[in-house]
Structure 1
Amino acid sequence: MVIEKSPKYHVVLSRPFDLEQFAQNAQEGKCPRHTMWTLAEKLGATIHEPGQYPISVADRLLSKVIGGSQPEHLAMARALSEQVDENDIIFSIGEDSGFAIATVCGAKVNRPKMAVFVHNADRPRSRVALKLFNLGNSIDLFMTNTKVKADFLQNYLGLPSERVYLVTEQTDSQFFTPGPASADKKRPIIGSGGLEQRDYCSLAEATQDLDLDVKICAVSPNAKALGDTFPEVMPKNMSRAFYDWTDLRQLYRDSDIVVISLKPHNYQAGFTTLFEAMSCRRPVIMTRTPGLAEELAEAGIITGVQAKDPQGMRQAILDLLNNPEKAQAQAQRGYELVQKQYNSEQYVDGIAQQLMSLEQEKQLILAY
């Protein structure tokens, strides 16, 4: 006779982060809700984070082989492996923690079910780790956010489609909401934000002699890391600064247009900014990239421009500024899309259902 236990869920973070305090701030309206806190509450999951466990020499050595994993991820994986068995379901929000846990826990006879959100596995060290440690068999469910990444995982590991879940993008539509512009706004504002794959040089060239302000939410402690992201000399009408969550929301509300200027790449950078802006009902101009950005541009939900094309970007900006009804209609289409399809509630529900399906698979196996 098999006595069935209720599954024990675990949500594993990639870095130390005070989710509880973040949730408190969200409740007070200071920031958006964190999807991983919401997911953990929904599943009754235990939250784990690296940085709390002693690091061994083996952790340091193994981290050099497992792509993206740091010694603290291996130390956490070892500690977690002593706590879990076949009644546990572990969800890692990144391959840095997920590959480490799958490597350590995958060797257990009574191993837990494991799911990993993969952000970028198509790089040399990650490719090696996936094959060297047989992670295609240890990890029961891969999650990722673009079809390009999903196709890579299926083809490289020979996985059936049901073992790769394509997660939709999301934003907290209860925090990022439409609202009035600031009373002291003097002229049109182009808003933007983020650093990943950004090309603010093209945006600067497109707008430097226009009668408007370009305001960018982007900071980095490492000036060298900015590389060719920003022009060496910023135009007088362009500024970048740190914005807290409520100030960022107000920046979107103040913006006549949100422009997401990207370098050429084959994955989906810029989508956090995109969905936050659309949730605030702002028209968006975005560099075309394969996948969703191209689809949204073709559907008229955003205005798409080619990479490294300042003149095309300038024309798109002037077109929306000079045609406010067109800009408003585009913004409305984007807003309705977020409300219908890209909100955080649907995002959390989708992941939760996938994790619960792992428990259902185990029950089917036991039934036989």
Structure 2
Amino acid sequence: MHVHVELPEELDVESYRLRNARGEIPDHTPYGLHHIGDDGDVVTFRRPARGALAYVSRKVRNRLDGYEAVTAVTGAPQRRGADAILCMDERTGVPALFTSPRRPVVTGIGWLERPDMLPPAERRATTRALRRCAGMFSQSPGVVPILREHWGVDPERVHGVTLGIDPEFYPEQPWDGRDPGGVTVTSVGDDRNRDHPTLIAAVEQVRAGGIPAWLELATTIPVTLAPDAGVVHARRMNAAMRGLYQRSTVVAIALRSNPVGAGLTVALEGLASGRPVVATDNPGMDHYVDHGRTGLLVPPDDPAAMAAAIGELLADPERAAAMGAEGRKDVESRFTSAHMARELATIVRNAL
């Protein structure tokens, strides 16, 4: 089987490999998709546009809410010889479905919710595209029933896929590497579903209760954090996240209520690092964070509940360490990029 992967335009596989070799980013290819070839299948990746074409493509993409129409057309010759096309989200998948009538397309769904939440023209185009789709998948269990019940597609073509990460890039961190000056709560995230104000309010409540919590928050979203309560890293951290996880006692992820799987990657990074995770209990989060065993799940928009969960673990470091160890075991046995790639390969093979 020859699978041709169409990645987002900003991802250049060759540059990605170089950065991985320098220890800057996880996996040898984006999402670890080279693992699709672990059993002998052929995997190729779309080459990004260059020069003037890249400029035009970026302008068009910005006007189409991220959908990558230009490279779907100009990249069509690169599909020759492929048995199927794989896209990781609908912004590449929908254009591929319109420009590849002769090859099955399997696409991930990263952001779609109900059709009535889209403008009419986008809703019609997306509906037409998805009905052509040989298979679609989501890493969030909360999205799968939405696709099956609201988009008019064959339910048999909709699959749940378990998200995976690179456990070698995110090793289990020793507990004696934590910040000796206090107990650190780590969080990271830039997407629209992050609820950093709830997290900051929770940490402030923990501190008011007498626990000297210190928040390290990596985000480019503007937030207000008191200087004596923590630090905001307003940049992409990449490999430096491993230092944050090492210093931490708890990884905390506050999210707005949504079904699309926001925060799952950070949750897995925390678990891989051997740290318990406190997270908003959105649909699908419990597939990754086992409440009471590898972390604690709390309701959305509830600083008091998040403060109680964080404080509970900060006050009992032995329990936190035990949860972190269980989380690391889960990542190694279920949540690696190699596991995810095998699931994707099965979906593509069944779509042929």
Q: 1:9–1:46: 8 Å Cα contact kept in structure 2?
A: yes
The CA deviation string for residues 318-340 of structure 1, in whole angstroms up to 9 with x for no partner, is: 21122222212221221211111
After TM superposition, give the deviation of residue 245 of structure 1 in Å. 2.9
- What is the aligned partner in structure 2 of residue 142 from structure 1? 136
Aligned ranges 1:1-368 → 2 under 5 Å: 7-33=1-27, 34-39=30-35, 42=38, 43-52=41-50, 54=53, 68-69=66-67, 73-82=68-77, 84=79, 88-106=83-101, 111-122=102-113, 123-125=117-119, 126-131=122-127, 134-180=128-174, 182=177, 185-196=180-191, 197-208=193-204, 209=207, 210-220=211-221, 226=222, 230-231=223-224, 234-241=226-233, 242=235, 244-293=237-286, 296-298=289-291, 300-359=293-352
Q: 1:20–1:37: 8 Å Cα contact kept in structure 2?
A: no
Identity percentage of aligned residues: 21
Q: 1:286–1:293: 8 Å Cα contact kept in structure 2?
A: no
After TM superposition, give the deviation of residue 283 of structure 1 in Å. 1.2
Q: Which runs of 5+ in 1 are unaligned?
A: 1-6, 221-225, 360-368
Give me the whole-angstrom Cα distance separating, in 2, the residues matched to 1:352 and 1:37. 9
Q: Highest Rg: 1 or 2?
A: 1
Q: 2:172–2:328: 8 Å Cα contact kept in structure 1?
A: no
Give me the whole-angstrom Cα distance separating, in 2, the residues matched to 1:329 and 1:88. 46
After TM superposition, give the deviation of residue 257 of structure 1 in Å. 1.0
TM-score by length of 2: 0.83
TM-score by length of 1: 0.80
CA change 1:289–1:235 in 2 (3 A) is farther
- What is the aligned partner in structure 2 of residue 364 from structure 1? none
Q: Which runs of 5+ in 2 are unaligned?
A: none
Q: 2:178–2:246: 8 Å Cα contact kept in structure 1?
A: no
What is the one-letter code of the residue matched to 1:20?
E
The CA deviation string for residues 106-145 of structure 1, in whole angstroms up to 9 with x for no partner, is: 3xxxx111111111222414432123xx223422111212
Classify the secondary structure of the residue corresponding to 1:318. Answer: helix
Classify the secondary structure of the residue corresponding to 1:259. Answer: strand
Give me the whole-angstrom Cα distance separating, in 1, the residues matched to 2:261 and 2:126. 22
CA change 1:243–1:118 in 2 (3 A) is closer
Classify the secondary structure of the residue corresponding to 2:142. Answer: helix
Dislocated runs of 4+, deviation >4 Å = 39-42, 53-57, 59-64, 82-87, 181-184
Q: How many residues align?
A: 334
After TM superposition, give the deviation of residue 37 of structure 1 in Å. 4.8
Give me the whole-angstrom Cα distance separating, in 1, the residues matched to 2:231 and 2:118. 37
Q: 1:85–1:112: 8 Å Cα contact kept in structure 2?
A: no
What is the one-letter code of the residue matched to 1:44?
V
Give me the whole-angstrom Cα distance separating, in 1, the residues matched to 2:302 and 2:251. 17
Give me the whole-angstrom Cα distance separating, in 2, the residues matched to 1:216 and 1:62. 30
